[in-house]
Amino acid sequence: MENVLAIGQRSVWGALLLLVCGCQTEVPTWGQGVWGRNQGGQEVIPLGSALSEIVIDPRRPYLYLADFDANQIYVVSRTTRQLERQLVVGPRPSDLNLSMDGNQLYVALSGGTEIAVVDLDRQELLPSIPLTFSPAYLAAGRPPYLYSTSVLEFWKGFSSYGQTFLLDAQAHTQTQLPQVGLLEIDPTRRRLYVATHRQVLQYRIGLADGQLELEGEADTEGPVLELQLSADGRRLYTISAGYFAIPEMIVTHNLIDSRKNVEVDMVEVFGTDPLIKVGELYTGAFPRAVSSSGQYLVVAAADSAGGSLGAGFAVRYDPLTLKPLETYKLVGAPSGCAVVDSSTGLFYVAVENPYDLRERFGDRHDLQVVALGRLVSSQAAVPVQRQPQPSVSADTLLPSAPATADSAVQFAGRSQVRVPAGSFIMGSTEGSSAEAPAHLVTLEAYYLDQYEVTVGQYRACVQAGSCEEPVDASLCNWQGAVEDDHPINCVRWAQAQAYCAWVGLRLPTEAEWEKAARGTDGRTYPWGEDFDRGRANYADHGIMQRTRPVGSYPDGRSPYGADDMSGNVYEWVADWYEPNYYAVSPSSDPQGPGSGSLRLLRGGSWWFDSNQMRTFHREPYHPADTDVDIGFRCARSAE
């Protein structure tokens, strides 16, 4: 599975175990004129290697593939789709994962006792991370933490003799964790998933110490062979063997092999908030790999249970309805090594080459490139019992020009902008179902902070004894190497609420926040309809920096004069979250649902791309949790 950030994706369970003792040669391994393979005009990148894992680099135009037998990493260009470089990393690379900032590639060396580290800018090896065990699977958490499971040794049923560890890459310490299994991590490093025998466990990750707290669990149809998390972290996919499968049927070289699925014809689909099964993807064959990014959800399957001349196909599904949309032919049986590039609409999958004469030395794979086509953004709303609401249009019901900003006023030692009373368009039909429908909302006049609350402002509250210290961790601005004019981050909802109360203010409602961000003309971004990368601090093509001083992007100011309403840090608002609330919300001064389990964040951040920066985007989040890209601003009603 793939790791994407905002971002990138990876296949944790797909660390294939390929037969022993590889043999390197320059003999070509593909094409009808060589071994008889007829690829029928389908694009194949010839590698002839025992591929165990593939990840896509969201910051650079590359794919990285692990060759289990040859002890090296292949760097493949996503532009030319050609092999550009080979880098020897160590014995038996079985799993790959990108660091949180996307600058390093971690490689589990199952044939040794270390994790190799690759500097992706220079494409050079850095000092490795020493271990006391042989790592099979890994997941990179927030620096300096990683999670790794050792090679699996099954001797009695499914009693595991492997171990899973929390690693501190700086202190070179390792702490054993209670569960052993395959690993997948949320792109924001907030949750870790561990697939054990016939179960998936969901853990919340401690921001400061990387420790795990069990949050949910779900049963699967059988022993899990493949585990993959969608790019946005909201869906989890598993491929299982038959319920009565025994270890000898699914484990090769102490690693799980998805090609051992010769019974189950579907992929299980789980929602992650909470962790619960929501559906299945039926293939009519034997799934080997699944990959999901953006609007692309693809399953690669073998059309037979085995055989030296087995072939396969890929199926693209609707990620919302889970219905199959299109089928693509593969030139060989697929492995668990696959990834979809949502920016180009291409699906990369390792396929077996039955015509490779070196087959007697071990399995050989080439990389097939499947063109899925570019998709137009479209998401259907979830059917609910709706109250009658008028159809709204920015062109017909509201002024075509946005309201202009009043002069900023000073209050409680801060600059605030005034948002006059009146109506505006809230929500959109172009986003997710939770952001629909677009509807008319009327608000009384109010004031909103021009800037996000800064480190210096929050420190004054802490020193006065009225606010708790925020979490102190890597990339958190509290006690960090930033100036006081950066936004405070790593704050929980209650901490934001407490600060606003201390200065005689409150958190804005979701409706107040959205009107201040988009004005009265229903614009998508605070500055207009077209995205402009020079107007906000965000993850530009996956290039994540960190916070910037508040007000650093004056050209991105909202119609009422509020800065950083898109980007820099996500902002807490007062409301509880309910996905269908817009269908039943009042038209005047909505305050949100009366209760719930999640609060709301607005505005996107430096960590995410432009999709999260749309003025109508809603981001549900647990109020007791926080992250390196979460801050807030305050509001007050006009007198």
Domain boundaries, the chain: 2-364, 409-637
Mean pLDDT for the stretch of residues 13-27: 32
Distance CA 215, CA 202 (A): 5
Report which of residues 12 and 107 the model is more confident about.
107
The class that CATH gives domain 2-364 is mainly beta
Report which of residues 31 and 519 the model is more confident about.
519
Residue 492 above 90 pLDDT? yes
Cα distances (angstroms) measured from residue 531 to each of 405, 549, 612 = 21, 21, 12
User: Residue 481: its pLDDT value, please?
Assistant: 73
Q: How confident is the model at residue 202 (pLDDT cuts 50, 70, 90)?
A: very high
Instruction: Give, for 630, the enclosing helix (H) or strand (E).
Output: strand 630-631
Q: Model pTM?
A: 0.66
User: Are the C-beta atoms of residues 145 and 189 closer than 8 Å to each other?
Assistant: no
Cis-peptide into 223, omega within 30 deg: no
Q: Which two tokens stand for residue 121?
A: 């800018």
DSSP symbols for 158-202 = T-B---EEEEETTTTEEEEES--SEEEE-TTSSEEEEEETTEEEE
| SS3 track for 231-270 | CCCCEEEEEECCCCCCHHHHEECCEECHHHCCCCCEEEEE
Range scoring the smallest mean pLDDT among 499-503, 538-542, 591-595, 620-624: 538-542
Nearest to 282 by CA among 297, 269, 265, 264: 265
Amino acid present at 374: R
User: Residue 577: its pLDDT value, please?
Assistant: 94
Span 348-404, pLDDT tens digits: 999 987 555 444 334 678 999 999 986 644 333 333 333 344 445 444 344 434 444
Q: How confident is the model at residue 71 (pLDDT cuts 50, 70, 90)?
A: very high
Residue 24 above 50 pLDDT? no
Residue 23 above 70 pLDDT? no
Mean confidence (pLDDT) of the chain = 83
Residues 89, 91, 97, 103, Cα dihedral to 10°: -20
Residue 305 above 50 pLDDT? yes
User: Are the C-beta atoms of residues 78 and 58 closer than 8 Å to each other?
Assistant: no
Range scoring the smallest mean pLDDT among 172-176, 345-349, 381-385, 634-638: 381-385
Range scoring the smallest mean pLDDT among 2-11, 333-342, 580-589: 2-11
Fold held by 409-637: paralog of FGE (formylglycine-generating enzyme) (3.90.1580)
User: Residue 475: its pLDDT value, please?
Assistant: 84
User: Residue 162: its pLDDT value, please?
Assistant: 75
Nearest to 601 by CA among 517, 486, 502: 517
Mean pLDDT for the stretch of residues 313-327: 93
Maximum pairwise Cα distance, the chain? 83
Instruction: Give, for 457, the enclosing helix (H) or strand (E).
Output: helix 455-463
Span 215-236, pLDDT tens digits: 999 999 888 888 999 987 889 9
Distance CA 70, CA 21 (A): 9
Span 555-607, pLDDT tens digits: 999 999 999 999 999 999 999 999 999 999 999 999 999 999 899 999 999 98
User: Residue 25: its pLDDT value, please?
Assistant: 33
Distance CA 244, CA 228 (A): 23
User: Residue 607: its pLDDT value, please?
Assistant: 85
| Residue 635 phi, psi (nearest 5) | -145, 170
Residue 476 above 60 pLDDT? yes
User: Residue 160: its pLDDT value, please?
Assistant: 54
User: Are the C-beta atoms of residues 408 and 593 closer than 8 Å to each other?
Assistant: no
Residue 290 above 50 pLDDT? yes
Neighbours of 467 (CB within 10 A): 20
User: Residue 76: its pLDDT value, please?
Assistant: 96
User: Residue 187: its pLDDT value, please?
Assistant: 81
Range scoring the smallest mean pLDDT among 148-157, 553-562, 611-620: 148-157
| Residue 361 phi, psi (nearest 5) | -90, -5
Range scoring the smallest mean pLDDT among 251-260, 420-429, 431-440: 251-260
Report which of residues 10 and 37 the model is more confident about.
37
User: Residue 153: its pLDDT value, please?
Assistant: 61
User: Residue 39: its pLDDT value, please?
Assistant: 53
R_g over Cα of the chain: 26
Residue with tokens 């995410």: 608
Mean pLDDT for the stretch of residues 617-634: 93
Amino acid present at 559: P
Q: For the purposes of burial, counting CB atoms within 10 Å of the CB of 476, is it exposed (0-12), middle (13-18) or buried (19 or more)? A: buried
Nearest to 77 by CA among 15, 123, 145: 123
Mean pLDDT for the stretch of residues 513-527: 95
Range scoring the smallest mean pLDDT among 327-336, 417-426, 485-494: 327-336
Residue 159 above 70 pLDDT? no
Distance CA 177, CA 149 (A): 9
DSSP state of 515: H
Amino acid present at 188: T
User: Residue 182: its pLDDT value, please?
Assistant: 86
Residue 13 above 50 pLDDT? no
Please name the residues in contact with 564: beta carbons below 8 A apart, sequence gap of 6 or more.
451, 452, 487, 536, 537, 550, 551, 552, 553, 556, 603
